[in-house]
Structure 1
Amino acid sequence: MSGLIFRALADESEFPLFDTINAPLPTNGVGVRSRTFKDLAADGDYRPEWVWIAQRGDEVVARASFWGRPEFDHPMSLDYFDFDTVENGAALLKAAYAALVGPGYTHPMGYERPEYNLFLPPEWKGLPEAEARIAAAEKAGLEFHVERLNLRWEPEYGLPPRSTRLTFTEAADDALLLGLLEHILEGSLDAWDRKELLSRDVKDVAAEGLQQVADMPGGRDRWRLAYDADGELVGMVMPTHNGSSATIGYIGVDSRHRGHGYAYDLLAEAMHIFADEGQPFITDNTDVGNFPMAAIFDRIGYKVTGKRMIFT
């Protein structure tokens, strides 16, 4: 690590430096992004001050790119992260986080610093590239939060039939949505929900979750409430768009109505909404440990495209 300089890029003219890294880049789907850094940077997805490199002389031996929405003052996630050695990678992260995370740092998910999203193939355990990135993140002080399944559905996989036992209406009443969300959060298997509920009131968690989905580029016109044959409100689904693809912003069943498989009906309704729009595909994810939801995605026709580990 002797002689290394850790720094952010000075301006956009230095973006090409990011791809000159002298280190083995991951294979086997480890850390793979859908688009290259060069293309993302050209589209304005990265700010020079949020892109960090470790240099020995003119040689780049480690790199880390942080991302945040254009309207954000602080980065929210760490995307690309590559290095020649675990020690150099960890040292770069320590320097970058120290510079980017100050007393006024804010994150839309409530994290104390940008989360590291490590994209992985479905069967990643034992891959040296994966193990090295996990080791570097932990050595830099990041903590494992959750492992998630990355999922995708395309029309050619087959569209499930619409529910005949539930009735759907547009979800326009925020008070009704918030009350339902509070019941959905009871017994939630979602790692983020469970973490937040340990220290925060359920009303606050529900309000924040609703706002996060409302702020997504897809808007809220597709959101639906679901009622059973007795007219009881049993759940909701929030189909939206994340800027890259159609996606389910949130889906949940009232804790008092679980055990009937309603999540399948909710998901099917969202898929029909997207299909009617002509959306070419849907991408979603769920926690590996959320076995019921993972099983529903599988049964309804989604395919697992990979996994994602999140460190905070």
Structure 2
Amino acid sequence: MTSVPGELTIRPLAGPQELGLFCQLSYVLDHELAEDLESGRRRPEWMWVALRGERVVARIAWWSRDGDVPLLLDVFDLDDTLPEPERGEAGLRLLETATAAVVPAGAPRPEYGRYVPPDWREDPVVRDAVEARIRTMERTGARMLVERLRLEWRAGTPVPADSGRLRFRPVDGREDLLALMAPVMEGTLDAHGRADLASGLSAREAAEKHYDEELVAYPTPREWWRIAELPDGEPVGFVVPARNSYNPIVAYIGVLPARRGHGYIDDILAEGTRVLAAQDGVERIRAATDLGNVPMARSFERLGYVNFERAFDMVWDEKS
């Protein structure tokens, strides 16, 4: 058999008109690609294919909020009908070639995120496909950061009425929320937060990073954000209901360390869900939590959120 590397043509898309070519391989984000290109969240030069003749044997794409720089590697597919080592070699060549062209020299590589079925380990075919992508990423120095549950509340699911145990008020500016985010960051079960702390950031610095890089990017009203308090005004936690480019989401939620263990997380999650469910035309609310954050996962389950998918995030250390 002639080796795949000698036959491959690796190149970016010539333009949106080649989206059909790109979609010779499939993934759950395919239905978003056309709109992403129109909005500037993706660019043709960030979408690459590895071709054997006219056949796509691997593809890769990056995403951004504003189209300025790639923020996330979120599409990486291989032709799973290919045998090994051809499949892995095709993917590796594409990954290395496209990354060198897309990611600015000296800049850290964007995180790789992948959605997978909730039972992906139980289906041998799906597991083989997922693990093939992981192996290819690892060959370039990436490591697994976290596996997460992706959760969904669906219209018609009952939302508990306010229990009256807490009072909720809108967030009064950046400092109001950061004053609670910083202590929540200490002892967090969130893998991204723990990675920020392990990198040398203080809890306050990690909270500021999350606020400035993530929360402020959501276009929805800040009036949706809520701080939870006891009847005497003592803070308990917070929730940030928002909407990203695709869905209403519970963007961030936390309970202060001193208030944990009393079930307040259910009250706070219910408030965030009520805020979003009250908006016009909401058919679903999305959320995610790390697989290891069992208390948070159980709270979502009690509120009627369904685990419809999993996701994993892989990262490259700066030296990679």
C-alpha distance in 2, partners of 1:123/1:230?
Answer: 45
Distance 1:67 1:229, change over 3 A: same
TM-score (norm 2): 0.86
Q: What SS does the corresponding residue of 1:60 show, helix, strand or coil? A: strand
C-alpha distance in 2, partners of 1:10/1:160?
Answer: 51
C-alpha distance in 2, partners of 1:246/1:133?
Answer: 29
C-alpha distance in 2, partners of 1:244/1:276?
Answer: 17
- Aligned-residue RMSD, C-alpha: 2.0
Q: Does 1:164 align with 2:164?
A: yes
Out of 292, 302, 318, the residue aligned to residue 299 of structure 1 is 302
Residue 289 of structure 1: how far off its partner (Å): 0.7
| 60-69 or 33-42: bigger deviation | 33-42
Distance 1:178 1:37, change over 3 A: closer
> In structure 1, what is the equivalent of residue 318 of structure 2?
none
Superposition map of 1:1-312 within 5 A: 1-20=5-24, 31-33=27-29, 35=31, 37-38=33-34, 40-41=36-37, 44-83=40-79, 84=82, 85-103=87-105, 105=107, 112-125=108-121, 126=124, 127-198=127-198, 199-211=200-212, 212-278=214-280, 279-312=282-315
C-alpha distance in 1, partners of 2:182/2:222?
Answer: 19
Q: What SS does the corresponding residue of 1:49 show, helix, strand or coil? A: helix
C-alpha distance in 1, partners of 2:311/2:304?
Answer: 20
Residue 156 of structure 1: how far off its partner (Å): 1.8
C-alpha distance in 2, partners of 1:44/1:178?
Answer: 31
What is the percent sequence identity of the aligned residues? 36
Q: Deviations over 1:8-57 (max 9, x none)?
A: 22333333321346xxx6xxxxx423726456545654211101111234
C-alpha distance in 1, partners of 2:167/2:279?
Answer: 20
TM-score (norm 1): 0.88
The question of whether the paired residues in 2 share the 8 Å contact of 1:6 and 1:92 is answered with yes
Residue 81 of structure 1: how far off its partner (Å): 2.1
Mind listing any 5+ residue stretches in structure 2 that lack a counterpart?
Answer: 316-320
C-alpha distance in 2, partners of 1:71/1:128?
Answer: 33
Q: Which runs of 4+ in 1 moved over 6 A?
A: none
Q: Deviations over 1:180-201 (max 9, x none)?
A: 1111111100000000011212
Distance 1:34 1:89, change over 3 A: closer
Residue 120 of structure 1: how far off its partner (Å): 0.8
User: What is the identity, as a one-letter code, of the residue corresponding to 1:161?
Assistant: A
C-alpha distance in 2, partners of 1:71/1:41?
Answer: 9
C-alpha distance in 2, partners of 1:34/1:93?
Answer: 19
| 174-183 or 131-140: bigger deviation | 131-140
